[in-house]
């Protein structure tokens, strides 16, 4: 894999003199702390992809609780996507560090990957597609993972993965993938149904006894303005880090106002 590491003024007062005999002076003031809190979205690193770009983001409600985390991919990024290397390109996206919403989730960073030829196992995942890894391990650890890394065979307790998820042996996603980890798939997902075809799926990843990432994976072909994927994220019985907000849904949608595709995890619940 190839890496790419990538207001308005307020709080001021203006005196208003009432020019009438015997009337006192009044002050009309605008104070920042009088303004109700509003939902917010903050953006992180932007990287060039194709003829466009991608950027990470975190959204929070008016109380500062995280509501969504994801990648915003410009429509122009789908033009002139690189055809090489055949093994794909990995774009690392740092999360926005300002505010407390990011810290309230278990995620360290995002890796957005383009696979021009797909990957194993054939023919299930050999369509051109994107991976969106939401990592719960530091980037420095992620980058040390090697092919068939023995630490990838150190599985976390089964309760930390959704019931039914499997990791087949000796092939991707069963092998430990360099700079990623061990992949766990849902055998009831559409691509495993007889006659089914891969369009999108949700994967968990593990490394060295821990859940390392959560991953929406989807084909380039579904990225059209009419795309509307809004599906539940299957939950484990036990969470990797307690006291954090975890997503219960993932979405792939088009934002006509910004001409961006939004790949995100949302509807956070404190676990």
| Cβ–Cβ < 8 Å for 119, 153 | no
- Report the C-alpha gap between 256 and 84 in whole angstroms: 30
pLDDT in tens, 106-125: 999 999 999 999 988 888 99
User: What pLDDT does residue 173 have?
Assistant: 57
Q: Does 171 fall in a domain?
A: yes
Return all residues near 19 (Cβ < 8 A) that are at least 6 apart.
none
- Report the C-alpha gap between 186 and 91 in whole angstroms: 25
Per-residue pLDDT averaged across 28-47, rounded? 74
Question: How many domains is the chain built from?
Answer: 1
Q: Does 16 fall in a domain?
A: no
User: What pLDDT does residue 13 have?
Assistant: 25
Q: Does 108 fall in a domain?
A: yes
Q: Does 86 fall in a domain?
A: yes
Q: Does 26 fall in a domain?
A: no
Per-residue pLDDT averaged across 248-254, rounded? 98
Res 1 pLDDT > 50: no
Q: Does 11 fall in a domain?
A: no
Res 19 pLDDT > 60: no
Question: Which domain range does residue 79 map to?
Answer: 2-6+36-270
**How far is the CA of 64 from the CAs of 67, 110, 203, in angstroms?**
9, 21, 28
- Report the C-alpha gap between 201 and 199 in whole angstroms: 7
Q: Does 31 fall in a domain?
A: no
Per-residue pLDDT averaged across 138-160, rounded? 96
Put residue 118 in one of left, alpha, beta given phi > 0 → left and psi -120 to 50 → alpha. left
Q: Does 28 fall in a domain?
A: no
- Average pLDDT of the chain? 87
What is the value of pTM for the model shown? 0.86
């Amino acid at each position: 894999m190839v890496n790419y590491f990538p207001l308005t003024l307020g709080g001021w007062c203006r005196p208003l003199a009432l020019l009438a005999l015997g009337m006192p002076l009044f002050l009309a003031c605008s104070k920042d702390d009088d303004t109700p809190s509003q939902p917010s979205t903050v953006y992180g690193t932007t990287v060039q992809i194709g003829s466009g770009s991608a950027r990470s983001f975190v959204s929070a409600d008016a109380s500062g609780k995280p509501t969504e985390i994801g990648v915003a991919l410009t429509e122009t990024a789908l033009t002139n996507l690189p055809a090489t290397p055949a093994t794909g390109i990995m774009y690392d996206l740092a999360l926005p560090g300002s505010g407390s919403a990011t810290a309230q989730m278990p995620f360290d960073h995002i890796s957005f990957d383009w696979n021009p030829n797909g990957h194993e196992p054939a023919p299930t995942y050999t369509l051109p597609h994107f991976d969106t890894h939401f990592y719960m391990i530091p980037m420095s650890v992620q980058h040390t993972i090697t092919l068939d890394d023995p630490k990838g065979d150190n599985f976390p307790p089964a309760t930390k993965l959704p019931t039914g998820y499997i990791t087949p042996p000796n092939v991707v996603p069963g092998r430990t993938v360099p700079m990623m980890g061990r992949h766990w798939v849902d055998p009831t997902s559409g691509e495993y149904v007889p006659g089914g075809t891969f369009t999108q799926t949700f994967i968990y990843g593990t490394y060295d006894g821990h859940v390392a990432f959560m991953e929406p994976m989807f084909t380039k072909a579904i990225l059209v303005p009419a795309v509307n994927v809004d599906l539940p994220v299957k939950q484990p019985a036990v969470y990797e880090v307690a006291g954090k907000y975890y997503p219960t849904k993932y979405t792939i949608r088009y934002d006509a106002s910004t001409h961006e595709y939004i790949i995100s995890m949302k509807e956070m619940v404190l676990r």
